[in-house]
Chain A
Amino acid sequence: RKEVEQDPGPFNVPEGATVAFNCTYSNSASQSFFWYRQDCRKEPKLLMSVYSSGNEDGRFTAQLNRASQYISLLIRDSKLSDSATYLCVVKGSSGSARQLTFGSGTQLTVLP
């Protein structure tokens, strides 16, 4: 089983749609969680951290369920500029120097 697994995608949605991505992780001792965005042939960029209480940044909402080892990202009112690959990222347990483990990513295309 992969340490971090994501919806395989691709997701093709019309502008204005709401889309949700899911991610599961295998290490129950994982400490921190992130969503990164990666545009084609570019480096990943931090989109948002994910907290147990859930957090929102404009049209983006991230949720964490530690009991189910599950992370989600919700994008409301999709824009063409949201088209990218979204990477679910998990940090290991306390004291782990190996740092972040990346999922394979879910590709999103927002259509006009």
Chain B
Amino acid sequence: DGGITQSPKYLFRKEGQNVTLSCEQNLNHDAMYWYRQDPGQGLRLIYYSQIVNDFQKGDIAEGYSVSREKKESFPLTVTSAQKNPTAFYLCASSPGTGIWGYTFGSGTRLTVV
């Protein structure tokens, strides 16, 4: 079945460490996105990519980095520069920049210990 796979589901990070969250899709979608969700808040855009080898900063990119070397994959690295990384991270994809909604992965819950 086509879909988006995020891993791991739960991740614990020590302060000062970088961690990478995986996002893989087999929907043949061109566009991919990373969002962060904090309790009681809406989703905030971290980074997005419309095409392989290209990506753009969203509203809260500081302390994060991404790569898009393959169409199927859009990993997110949470660096030690991100001061408050504990959150629910959601990856999404869409066929392009048209009128479609997004398909989301099941998310990664990151906790700093």
Contacts and interface: CB of A to CB of B under 8 A. Distances in A.
A4 B105 CA distance: 23
Interface stretch (A14-22, A28-36, A66-74): A28-36
Contacts of A34: 101
A60 interface: no
Contacts of B33: 99
Contacts of A105: 42
A11 interface: no
B42 A97 contact: no
Interface in B15-37: 31, 33, 35
Given A97-B48, A97-B50, A44 B97 contact: no
A44 B104 contact: yes
Contacts of A102: 35, 42-43
Interface residues of A, number: 25
Nearest to A46: B101
A80 interface: no
A62 interface: no
Given A98-B45, A102-B43, A105-B42, A31 B104 contact: no
A98 B102 CA distance: 12
Interface string A22-56: 00000000011010100001111110010000000
Given A32-B99, A46-B103, A97-B48, 20 more contacts: A32-B101, A36-B101, A42-B106, A43-B90, A44-B104, A45-B104, A87-B42, A89-B101, A97-B50, A98-B48, A98-B56, A98-B58, A99-B31, A99-B33, A99-B48, A100-B101, A100-B102, A102-B35, A102-B43, A103-B42
